[in-house]
């Protein structure tokens, strides 16, 4: 599926570069992203050694909630980072920078 025709481009926070990254890790639709969740999607991206910051994690969650990533509550951002760091430890990867 070409990124320019991806329904993911219609979601908040996701532009062409983000959608191409999602496609590279097998996430091609909103349903894929919803089923996988923001944390697992982020872990898949990082596992491929794609250099993204925790803002990508927030952007993915914001896309699922249809809000700008910066409007996520601070406690939710902390929860997302905590879950991602646990996922990194479980997979033997480095923590979030």
pLDDT > 50? residue 43: yes
* Cβ-based neighbours of 42, under 8 Å, separated by 6 or more: 52, 56, 57, 60, 84
Domain-located, residue 71: yes
How does DSSP classify residue 42?
A: H
Q: What is the pLDDT of residues 17-42, one digit of tens each?
A: 999 999 999 999 999 999 999 999 99
Which structural domain, as residue segments, surrounds residue 81? 3-90
Give the CATH number for residue 15. Answer: 1.10.150.20
Q: How far is CA 82 from CA 10, 11, 30, 89, 96, in A?
A: 28, 24, 24, 11, 9
How does DSSP classify residue 67?
A: S
Q: How far apart are CA 43 and CA 49, in angstroms?
A: 10
Name the domain count of the chain.
1
Domain-located, residue 95: no
Q: What is the pLDDT of residues 60-80, one digit of tens each?
A: 999 999 999 999 999 999 999
pLDDT > 80? residue 96: no
Report yes or no on whether pTM surpasses 0.85: yes
Domain-located, residue 96: no
């Amino acid at each position: 599926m070409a990124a320019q025709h991806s329904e993911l481009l219609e979601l908040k926070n996701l532009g062409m570069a983000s959608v191409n990254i999602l496609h590279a890790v097998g996430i091609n639709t909103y349903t894929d992203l919803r089923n996988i969740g923001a944390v697992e999607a982020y872990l898949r991206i990082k596992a491929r050694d794609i250099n993204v910051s925790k803002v990508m994690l927030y952007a993915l969650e914001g896309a699922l909630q249809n809000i700008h990533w910066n409007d996520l509550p601070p406690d939710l951002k902390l929860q997302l980072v905590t879950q991602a760091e646990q996922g990194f430890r479980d997979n033997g990867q480095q923590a979030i920078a």
